[in-house]
A and B are shown apart, each in its own frame.
Chain A
């Protein structure tokens, strides 16, 4: 009883706002057996900024954001999210922190046994239990309107196209009004036009809700549209850090591979 009260008190602290960078990653190492994916990766995400992590397939981009959200445990290093070292947080504290951090999966990860409405209600029913049914409905409709898919509210995920599923997944990510959103390859598997629409939607959401974002991508069109800053992940470290124009003007052969 005392323990749970104590944990609850610590967990409330997780909700406090912070000054400075919203995410700081220091000396992050992660290996899978002999495959050393991250070898001392460092980066920072400032409030209101969109940071794109660029890199080849298998370079460890998804591993990086899965470590940031706590889905994977790094071998060493520190990850500070909204002023808290996530490696030191208890499970209830991490759950509370996750309410402030949204995650858009590459595969969308919509719950296929639930309707679109139930998908969006799912996190709300568990975290915002004080809300009346009308308020929940209103917020679900608003989130779907933000992504232009209010008419799909009673459909099943399998009835939607890939692009529509991505938009619904984004609406579900937005439903708890997170301060940070992590996007795992948001345009992968989409045609260039739909990919550009999703990239523009990411920018619109960032401007409307003032979120800070990390976008994992190797789609240069998406990178150009969304990035305030780019980190090039190469050989497990942050090889280059700069704006799109700065990196595009670089003469480094490894950077040129992406921009020319």
Chain B
């Protein structure tokens, strides 16, 4: 049975991404690690993404609190705002929103940078000088994305909860100490663990897809734009798919 063209292309690309991921693991555990480039990527991917992800988390905290307040006031449970915001942020909003912003900023940048290196023959140039471009360009970026996104997500949670505290105090009064006490009073280890684990997978997916799209860019400068765009689209969709899987797995295991 022959698959229709679009379906065949989807399966073909999925297969190529699996092979690319396999090569990533092979190259990661082979000799010579590009440590200096890895640290440079951690700085670019992690530190330079912090203002954007922090700002988004802060605004999400403010908005969420302002939006839910009237409903909770109507039910007379206004004092549960810190618990609700804390749980929402740590379990879902922090990891997913950070990953989506990360996919937009880092996924597109990886797709565009590696794509332009491909079309201007810089990747071939590394190859002919006897240097492994996959190790230098892909392994370092994917590892940096995998390690940095969880750190950014935790910081986004903390900033978002602080934003919520400020929003709460626009119309009510609660000390920061009591606010955070209420947040942590309702947070359990079983809330933190799945969120912390899944965000590693989000970072890995964004890194692999961004690098895959850039590394195999074709058709010149138009291809670079297409690579950047499809890196964002595919990695954002992948974040939601992984989130859905994570929810199902934690549900099956009875965690959280």
Contacts and interface: CB of A to CB of B under 8 A. Distances in A.
A111 interface: yes
Interface stretch (A119-127, A141-149, A201-209): A119-127
B180 to A, nearest CB: 42
Interface residues of A, number: 25
A71 B133 CA distance: 13
A210 interface: no
Interface in A73-112: 94-96, 98-99, 101, 103, 105-107, 109-112
Contacts of A103: 125, 128
Contacts of A123: 129-131
Contacts, number: 51
B128 A98 contact: yes
A111 B113 CA distance: 11
B131 A122 contact: yes
Listed residue (B113, B120, B125, B127) with the most chain A CB atoms within 10 angstroms of its CB? B125
B129 A122 contact: yes
B185 interface: no
A98 B121 contact: no
Interface residues of B, number: 16
A127 B117 CA distance: 22
Contact of A112 (B31, B122, B128, B132): B122
B92 interface: no
Nearest to A184: B121
B124 interface: yes
Nearest to B40: A113
B29 to A, nearest CB: 12
Given A109-B121, A111-B122, A126 B130 contact: yes
A120 to B, nearest CB: 11
A127 B126 CA distance: 12
A86 to B, nearest CB: 12
Nearest to B132: A95
A248 interface: no
A105 B31 CA distance: 28
Contacts of A96: 130
Interface string A214-231: 000000000000000000
A105 B132 CA distance: 18
Contact of B128 (A69, A106, A113, A126): A69
Interface of B: 31-32, 113, 117, 120-122, 124-132
Given A122-B131, A176-B129, 7 more contacts: A96-B130, A98-B130, A103-B125, A111-B122, A123-B129, A126-B32, A126-B129
28 contacts: A69-B128, A70-B128, A71-B128, A95-B130, A95-B131, A95-B132, A96-B130, A98-B128, A98-B129, A98-B130, A99-B130, A101-B128, A105-B125, A107-B120, A107-B121, A109-B120, A109-B121, A109-B122, A109-B125, A112-B120, A112-B122, A113-B113, A122-B126, A122-B129, A123-B129, A123-B130, A126-B129, A176-B129
